[in-house]
Amino acid sequence: MDHLVSTSLLAADLNNLEKEVLMINRSKSDWLHLDIMDGVFVPNISFGFPVIEHVKKITEKPLDVHLMIVDPDRYISRFCDAGAGILTVQYEACIHLQRTVTEIRALGMKAGVALNPHTPVSLLKNIIPYIDMVLIMTVNPGFGGQSFIIESYNKIRELRKMIDAAGYNVFVEVDGGIDTTNSAKLIDTGVDVLVAGSSVFGSDDPAETIRRLKDLD
Ligand code: DX5
Ligand code: ZN
């Protein structure tokens, strides 16, 4: 399968939200990644439902919604109504994870589970049959613009092996510090979806950077 690129709006110019979303529409980005932070699970607060609903009206790309919030069960149906296509919860925030991902799928969304850098891949063994994607956090969640954690390559290798051995069709997504210098190696290591924020919006030509992440050149 060709890998996907999910452009993270966190680093976009929110004064020009519409322009940024239209740029993503015209680009080779496959998905649009939205980071939802509650100031409790992570030491930062990002955007909520009004922003998601606004983006949904403009975007032509599936919304890849990454919840960095405690107790995400409370909001699953609201994120569905707001337009999420893929809804990812943090492993560390869920007590009854199987119930959570089953509910996400029952509403017609794809279900993802994100792992913080310190959380071992082996903990996912019994949830793989119930999910569509694993998001390996390659930085500690909460902020854009951080440096990629090198140990992530070992986690990706281990996860890819686990998914392939189990025989399920589960995407591997990476998020944090992704740019054109590490994208090809990440895909070689077994990644399906690259999330990129700062490297896209911090570049002179964001659409061209997305194209390079997609074409790996
Ligand atoms: C970090 C977020 C990321 C963030 C990545 O907590 O989950 O999605 O936007 O940003 P960059 O690409 O700047 O590392
Ligand atoms: Zn994210």
Which tens digits make up the pLDDT trace of 47-72? 999 999 999 999 999 999 999 999 99
**Ligand 1 site-directed mutation target among 7, 38, 139, most atoms within 8 Å of CB:** 139
Contacts of 110 (CB under 8 A, 6+ apart): 85, 86, 87, 104, 132, 133
Evaluate if residue 186 carries a pLDDT over 90. Answer: yes
Q: What is the mean pLDDT of residues 119-141?
A: 98
Distance 202 CA to ligand 1 centre (A): 13
Would the pLDDT of 3 be above 90? yes
Mean pLDDT confidence for 152-169: 98
In ligand 1, which atom is closest to the CA atom of 178?
12
In this predicted structure, the answer to whether residue 156 has a pLDDT above a threshold of 80 is: yes
Q: Between β-strands 193-196 and 31-37, what pairing exists: parallel, antiparallel or unpaired?
A: unpaired
The residue whose CB lies within 8 Å of the most ligand 1 atoms, and thus the one to mutate among 13, 32, 35, 199, is: 35
Neighbours of ion ligand 2 (CB under 5 A): 35, 66, 175
Whether the Cβ atoms of residue 97 and residue 72 lie closer than 8 Å to each other: no
pLDDT at 72: 98
Q: Check: CB of residue 34 under 8 Å from CB of residue 9.
A: yes
Report residue 31's pLDDT band, with 50, 70 and 90 as the boundaries: very high
pTM over 0.95? The answer is yes
Residues lining ligand 1, judged by CB closer than 6 Å?
8, 10-11, 33, 35, 66, 139, 141-146, 175-178, 195-199
Q: At what angle do helices 17-26 and 49-58 cross, to 10 degrees?
A: 40
Q: Which residues are catalytic?
A: 35, 175
Distance, in Å, from the CA atom of 186 to the CA atom of 98, rounded to the nearest integer, reads 28
- Report the Cα 121 to chain-centroid distance in Å: 17
* Interatomic CA distance for residues 5 and 198, integer angstroms: 14
User: Measured from the CA of 179, which atom of ligand 1 is nearest?
Assistant: 12
Residue 1 has pLDDT above 80, yes or no: no
Taking only the tens place, the pLDDT of each residue in 72-116 is 999 999 999 999 999 999 999 999 999 999 999 999 999 999 999
Q: Whose atoms come closest to the Cα of 209: which ligand?
A: 1
Cβ–Cβ under 8 Å, residues 153 and 128? no
Q: Which amino acid is at 78?
A: R
Mean pLDDT of 154-159: 98
pLDDT mean across residues, the chain: 98
Which residue bears the tokens 């939205």? Answer: 34
The helix, strand and coil proportions of the chain, stated in percent and rounded to the nearest 5, come to 45, 20, 35
Whole-number pLDDT of residue 54: 97
Query: 143 CA distance to ligand 1 centroid (A)?
Result: 6
Nearest residue to 89 (alpha-carbon basis) of 123, 66, 110: 66
Question: Ligand 2 centroid vs 114 CA: distance in angstroms?
Answer: 9
Residue 26 has pLDDT above 90, yes or no: yes
Sign of torsion, CA 26 30 36 42?
Answer: negative
pLDDT number for residue 110 = 99
User: What is the per-residue pLDDT for 178?
Assistant: 98
pLDDT of residue 119: 98
Q: What integer pLDDT is reported at residue 80 of this predicted model?
A: 98
pLDDT at 94: 98
Specify the 3-state DSSP secondary structure of 202. coil
